Structure 1
Amino acid sequence: MGEPRGIFCSAQGCVGDVIIEQRLVESKEPASHVPLACSAQYCAFPVDGNVLCLWNTTDPSYQPLTLRGHHEPITAVAFGNTVSPLLICSASQDYVIMWSLDECRQKVLQAFPLLSLLIDAKSRQLVTGCANGQLWIFSLVEGHHFRCVTRVSLKKKSESFSRRVESRLCCLPEESQHPCTHGLEKGDEVEASLPVLGLAPCDLSAIVSAPCVCGLSSETTSCLWIGSSAGLFIFNLANFELEAVLHYRDFRSLSIHVAGSCAVMSKANDDKAICLLTSLFGRKIVMLEIRVAALVRSQQGHDAGRHLSVLPRTCVGPTSPLCFTTAKESKTPPAPQRQSAGRSTVKDQPLVFHTKVRSSGYASAPHVTMFSPKANTRKRGDHSSRCRDGPRSKEYPLESSPPTKLYKQRVLAHGPAAAHCVQYSAGDGQWLACGLANHLLLAFRADLSGTPTVFSGHDGAVSTVCWSHDSRWLLSASQDGTLRLWSLRRAELALCLGKDVFSKPVRSAQFYYVDTFVLLSSGPELQLLKYHIDTCKDEIQRYKQKNRCKRVFRLPTTGRTEITSLSAVNDFYSYLVLTAGRNRTLEVFDLNAGRSAAMTVEVHSRPVHQICQNKGSSFTTQQHEAYNLFATTASGDGIKLWDLRTLRCERLFEGHPNHGYPCGIAFSPCGRYVASGAEDRHAYMYDLGSSTFSHRLAGHTDTVTSVAFSPAAPQVDAVGVTADWQQDAGILVNHGGISAPSRMRSGCDHAVAC
């Protein structure tokens, strides 16, 4: 295509800049009689007989648009409407095609040249790099049918990595900062895009260590070199994050600052890497030697030495808010032993204070040793385990396959009533609670038999539901601003805390420290409540209100950012509480010390709407290190698996569509799978050793918003939104778990899947 040329001539001679030849193209076919069409924005004509070409008449720099689809010569061309979407019709002996120029142009803009390709045998993934700086990663696992795992923008990853490195360096002394991590100086130009010029394997097993649990050891964690025009990048194929960045312009002694071609080579167990570069604007070719360990460690900071753990290593300190209750109770004199003749000698105090109840954990105060997560129910001789019947008396199968088939479905409510949350009873898994948008809270038996227990009293949708460890109490939070505690045995309200107690709405709430406290978030504060429930068996005296609750501790987040989600272990004693802020930070609080223990920034591209810990269950035995794994999820940003000991993202799970509605996640009791809701009417199952989903659970007719695993049997619950207006709200049961749908538009019913 030639340059514009002035071609106007008159009697006085040729005059330039009057008629300008803007474009020129040569066709292989004769062009004497071809159909032509013009509009206010485009000119259209066939090239080579059957190829339709369009030129933009308003912007000469606009690249020509070539449309292919005809096999026979094009015989007619005509433009349609003049407003968006702009249409053009072309006809030949074989087809009459209507083209949408906006969609065609968008596809052309996305079609960038493929510059590099790499197959990683360890992760069984195919990685391709494009000229626009995009990485496309495909799964080569059998049965995945070469599905796309994720698409990564190298420019966005580089910017996010730079911000994280700067936040780490701000906490270090000035003399410990490495000069190569400061980035570009002022006045330097930043690349508009980072074309992927080369890909090569990179061995970081001796530098970056992954947790040795759940198949996440460093032997299966693969990294690769990415060579671009502006620098070199080390990319982790497990979490799709950058481990290190080397900008050419940070080293003024280098002969090449903008590369046109790049090739990298590094050997296994070798600290050196060789990089070959050619200059984009010159004739220079250089070879670089890179010290990989020094590059990575200069940008990792000191996060690896944090040594956090969910399992406590010391006893409760004397100033800890966790020993508030035990210290106070030990100093309180016993109540007078006045009893009526017709009453038994049952003490008038809550169950958790009974010294004969082993599950309460308050036989002595303060605690000298903390017990670990329960491992095997068959070794326990308590009455509850002997009373269990059927498969629930067996240990949860750690090698079981994930749920794949729909097992059962049950109606929850008639009419428009979305399910917002679903949760199994933690201790025995014999009950299932579900919070609805019609202000009701339902409690089912785990097998969905019988009539559910209905708890009414909220004036808004029930957004959070939580079981106590002994499965006797239910905690619910609602959009009406109240927090309510219910008795499952009596099916009645035991305690209600309203807006007069909390200055901000309660976003998350749960039982904590083996039912000793209620842990909740209100605005930017983490609050610890001590509650007392009267368990008097006298039918007359029990109507006297003796239940009470008192705030014993409150702690604001760093920067006083609003908490969007929190998580803590209640099945065994643990000091740590995980919180996520609206500013996309993740903060860990040590309630034994009563302070913030660690924080990391930019955990997701959007605020986290759920934190989920690997808590196991009373029916499983996991490695102690596995309890330090937790997951976070945010709309449009997948699921991230974290190791609490380093606050490092170890793996990213993508594949489930979740762009606008918060969809819940859950760990399986065996610690091998993560389930997630999705907006395509499915619940997704992820294996922790793979970054893409292994199964999809069907059955819902709209968005699946919450999922939960049974702690006693391999089944999963999912609740979501049902689009069929003629259907009633119900529960779907899949072997291996349950899912629950929520409503996204009025008039739609929902279903819950197990």
Structure 2
Amino acid sequence: MDGCGEGRGTNRLMVEKLSLSCDRLLSHLQLACCPSHCASPLQGKDLLIHCLLDPELKALRLTGHHGDISAMVFGTGRDPLLLCSASADYVIVWDIRRCYRRTREGVVASGTVIGTLLGKVVHLSFCPCDERVAACSGAKVYILNSNIEEVLSVLAGHLGPLTAAEFCPWNKDILVSISEDRTFKVWGLKMEQILYQSAVLSASPLLSVLFLEKSRQLVTGAADGQVWSFTLPEDHRCHLVTKLDLHKVQQRHQRHLDTVAPQTGGVLGITPDPVEMAKPVLRICAYDRWLPDIDHGQQSWVWMGSSDGLYLVDLGTSELHMTLLFRDHPNLSITMAGSWAMSQGLDNSMIFVVTSLFEALVSVLEVRLLGSGSVDNLCQHLEGLSVMPSAPLIPESPLNAELKKKGPKPPTKTGKRGVKEQPLVFHTQVKSSGYTQSPRMTMFSPKTNVQKKTPGPTKTKRKIGCLVSDYPGDTAAPSVPHTNLSTVKTPTPVCCAQYSGDGKQILCGLGDRSVLLYKSSLTGTPAVYTGHDKAVSSVAWSHSRQWWLSASEDRTLRIWPTGSPEPAVTMGGDEKFSKTIRGAQFYYLDKFLLLASGPSLHLYLYHLDNTQDDIKRYQQRSAIKLTRCLETKSGTDITAVSVINDFYSYIVLVSGADRSIQVLDMNTGTVASQLPDAHSRAVHHITQNKGSMFSSQTPDSYNLFLTSAVTDGVKMWDLRTLRCVRRYENHLNRCHPCTAAFSPCGRFIASGSEDNCAYVYDIRSSSYLHKLQRHSDTILNVTFNPATPELLTGTLDGRLSLFRPGNAAISVALS
């Protein structure tokens, strides 16, 4: 093996530290690297160790194998630093420091043989404490003692040859193996038995496996580019958290770059792929270094090595954050990879050893992410979008509009010619003349002997409803069923539901064209409001709680006074709206009405007057005026709308039928930004983290919002960067418009599901926290009580369920 170059590559992110020419093809061998050293075969039977910290140090050559070396791996510890190598005849463990010392003394360095005649070993791995070694040979896993030649156990159960096996870092007695039979198995080493066996995951063999210790997850990748992430709980019953296709993720990332930040293509060296090709996941490695704007407690960033390059993927969001392809780095000596070895480097860097697929070459690459320049450049050009206003209203802003109220007409000015002489006539009907009354004989009669009222004790009026307590920020998530009832006798879907701002009342829009008003405890008989001709699509409370509105599939909107059986305003119809009203709600602290119909977003000023005149009782005294009508950029129909009405905000979020998300700035009346292909299907529900009047969150928390799409789960986005920051896919959503909601404290997320369960997630984790069962049908709607830790669910067959936390009893501070 000859050194062909060092320090090649001009890109500041990826540098080729070492390029080695070999005497034979090493395309599918397991090579080894660590932060300080890398290892590769030499002439088939020997090992060549290079020191990465001191490039001038002469490479260490180790001999001892009689057959061709097929796999090697470094230990997890650094003192001593162990290297295990395997061939068909021996499995040998080397102490690298001891080997360097013996070589300097002029003595042949030797290792410890721990296995003999195990067959062709394709993969090796050390346990977390370097006491045991797992060797994959054929369809068996040999567990070896790393100190002496001893086979501790033999694990057999796969139907095909094994491709890899790894020890669990938080439990050294757990091992996971993957095979060409397209399954993985979780082994208990104490009892030497299978604790969990997966189903067939893919049509292609599984090639790589990784443990994420911080999130307690298991990640495996296949030859067709499919990647799965599973939880590994204490009972070892794995649950799928995320599934992604590396090729589709790259295509979505490229479309995002083309639309949001086209000028960054040259900086990151990303060019469109001219030929569609498979992207086998040859190796996966966790990336635990510091990156800005990342929750390090739940970080799930991984490097994936494929045949065409490297991919940095966030498994929590299924989003691609960086692509380093060989075709974008012509100075590298390798153009197509056969195998990868990965390790955390020093100073926020990564070390990669890659073999060429078609040539006898081995290359050592170093990738260094310099601060936020490489990962966060994608959205630096975006203006500082934020839910919180950062500037006053501009003079021509639509939000400055005011509704002119009708007042008394001013007196008309008339000239001298306009004055007509009219006779002064007094009639008996004019009571003010005084001619019909008898003359007063006495001007007044004073009251005498008037007793003064002694002031008694004054009673102070206290509004009990105003004495509220803060939302408990440290309570557990609602998970215990408390109340379950049916809204109607015949099954009808609960299309929408919303709590009032004080948490005392609940509005439920049903598929039978009615709206029900419940107490928050779901006790008593609900008030029934009818008038729509089709199913109610949305309901919303005003901030003052004096009004609420309902919109229906009949293209009408009604605004109801609280406690009144008749609406104050009815607007819409086929002549006004050509398509169904979506996302009707109050906006800008009840100043405006906002609704979407087709591709248009309508902003209305309104004046509501609920007084009645006995003579003109059928004349509507309220007024509504269209202020602005905004169109989506692509002209696509709007499927969902979300705004915040609890405080002043210029931002309106809309989703389109073309799978896009658009951010509208109502201060300027324009589309501020657009995110194409946010989901694989059109978004049917979008909601923001609005908090409540009973809880307070950090200002940045209000920039988070959720989107739901059929077959594509729930995504959480950050408005500041317009990037997905977390993905939730444990629930089932294949055909019905299941919704999601934030808790008022901002710690939990709830989602409906088609498996008759509601799922509660910790906002920092993609795996569910609670699975709320005991439902009779698909859960369409979920909503949190803004005042107390309660969760309300509405099902497809018209049932409402109330859940509360499973800890101590809650003291509800509502009258």
TM-score with structure 1 setting the length: 0.70
Seen in structure 2, the aligned counterparts of structure 1 residues 721 and 253 have a Cα distance that, compared at 3 Å, is: same
- The Cα shift of 1:142 comes to 5.2
* Structure 1: gaps (5+ residues): 1-65, 69-106, 211-216, 338-382, 723-728, 738-754
1:10 matched to which residue of 2? none
Seen in structure 2, the aligned counterparts of structure 1 residues 505 and 268 have a Cα distance that, compared at 3 Å, is: farther
- On the 8 A contact 2:636/2:658 being kept in 1, the answer is yes
* Separation in 1, partners of 2:159, 2:313: 37
- The aligned runs of 1:13-92 (5 Å cut-off) are none
2:394 pairs with 312, 317, 326, which one? 317
- The Cα shift of 1:636 comes to 1.0
- On the 8 A contact 2:260/2:675 being kept in 1, the answer is no
Deviations 1:582-614, CA, capped at 9 Å, x for gaps: 111111111111111122221111111111111
- On the 8 A contact 1:699/1:732 being kept in 2, the answer is no
- The Cα shift of 1:444 comes to 1.0
Check if 1:735 corresponds to 2:804.
Answer: yes
* Structure 2: gaps (5+ residues): 1-157, 161-198, 412-459, 807-815
2:232 pairs with 129, 140, 145, which one? 140
Check if 1:197 corresponds to 2:282.
Answer: yes
- On the 8 A contact 1:197/1:226 being kept in 2, the answer is yes
- The Cα shift of 1:708 comes to 0.8
Deviations 1:467-516, CA, capped at 9 Å, x for gaps: 11122222111111111112222121211112222233212211111111
Check if 1:181 corresponds to 2:257.
Answer: no
2:505 matched to which residue of 1? 431
- The Cα shift of 1:432 comes to 0.6
TM-score with structure 2 setting the length: 0.65
1:393 matched to which residue of 2? 468
2:655 matched to which residue of 1? 580
Deviations 1:693-726, CA, capped at 9 Å, x for gaps: 110112221110111111111111111124xxxx
Deviations 1:657-692, CA, capped at 9 Å, x for gaps: 111111011111111111110000011101101101
Seen in structure 2, the aligned counterparts of structure 1 residues 314 and 685 have a Cα distance that, compared at 3 Å, is: same
* Equivalent position amino acid for 1:457 in 2: G
Give the SS at the match of 2:374: helix
Check if 1:117 corresponds to 2:194.
Answer: no
- On the 8 A contact 2:333/2:363 being kept in 1, the answer is yes
2:45 matched to which residue of 1? none
1:225 pairs with 303, 312, 315, which one? 303
1:250 matched to which residue of 2? 328
Seen in structure 2, the aligned counterparts of structure 1 residues 310 and 268 have a Cα distance that, compared at 3 Å, is: farther
2:626 matched to which residue of 1? 551
Check if 1:500 corresponds to 2:575.
Answer: yes
* Equivalent position amino acid for 1:513 in 2: Y
- The Cα shift of 1:303 comes to 3.9
1:158 pairs with 243, 250, 253, which one? 250
- On the 8 A contact 2:317/2:725 being kept in 1, the answer is yes
* Equivalent position amino acid for 2:300 in 1: S
Seen in structure 2, the aligned counterparts of structure 1 residues 289 and 269 have a Cα distance that, compared at 3 Å, is: closer
- On the 8 A contact 1:408/1:733 being kept in 2, the answer is yes
- The Cα shift of 1:566 comes to 0.8
- The aligned runs of 1:199-214 (5 Å cut-off) are 199-203=284-288, 205-206=290-291, 208-210=292-294
Check if 1:690 corresponds to 2:765.
Answer: yes
Deviations 1:227-257, CA, capped at 9 Å, x for gaps: 1111110011321211111121223333322
- The aligned runs of 1:220-369 (5 Å cut-off) are 220-267=298-345, 269-270=347-348, 272-293=349-370, 297=374, 300-303=377-380, 305-325=382-402, 328=404
Give the SS at the match of 1:165: helix
- The Cα shift of 1:199 comes to 1.3
* Separation in 1, partners of 2:745, 2:246: 35
- On the 8 A contact 1:165/1:300 being kept in 2, the answer is no
* Separation in 1, partners of 2:570, 2:490: 28
Give the SS at the match of 2:463: helix
- On the 8 A contact 2:610/2:621 being kept in 1, the answer is no
* Separation in 2, partners of 1:652, 1:387: 42
- On the 8 A contact 1:306/1:646 being kept in 2, the answer is no
Deviations 1:168-202, CA, capped at 9 Å, x for gaps: 343x39xx833721234x5xx432x2111111122
Seen in structure 2, the aligned counterparts of structure 1 residues 733 and 504 have a Cα distance that, compared at 3 Å, is: same
Check if 1:418 corresponds to 2:510.
Answer: no
* Separation in 1, partners of 2:505, 2:693: 15
Same amino acid, percent of matched pairs = 41
Structure with the largest fraction of helix: 1
Deviations 1:20-56, CA, capped at 9 Å, x for gaps: xxxxxxxxxxxxxxxxxxxxxxxxxxxxxxxxxxxxx
* Separation in 2, partners of 1:646, 1:325: 33
- On the 8 A contact 2:355/2:361 being kept in 1, the answer is yes
Deviations 1:281-326, CA, capped at 9 Å, x for gaps: 2322222233434997288423475321111123322211111017
- On the 8 A contact 2:705/2:719 being kept in 1, the answer is yes
Seen in structure 2, the aligned counterparts of structure 1 residues 435 and 296 have a Cα distance that, compared at 3 Å, is: same
Check if 1:489 corresponds to 2:563.
Answer: yes
Q: Which moved more, 1:616-625 or 1:218-227?
A: 218-227
Seen in structure 2, the aligned counterparts of structure 1 residues 319 and 335 have a Cα distance that, compared at 3 Å, is: same
- On the 8 A contact 1:183/1:250 being kept in 2, the answer is no
* Separation in 2, partners of 1:109, 1:647: 32
1:351 matched to which residue of 2? none
1:746 matched to which residue of 2? none
Larger Cα Rg: Structure 1 or Structure 2?
A: 2
Aligned CA RMSD, in angstroms, stands at 2.9
* Equivalent position amino acid for 1:447 in 2: S
Seen in structure 2, the aligned counterparts of structure 1 residues 421 and 240 have a Cα distance that, compared at 3 Å, is: same
- On the 8 A contact 2:261/2:379 being kept in 1, the answer is no
- The Cα shift of 1:539 comes to 6.2
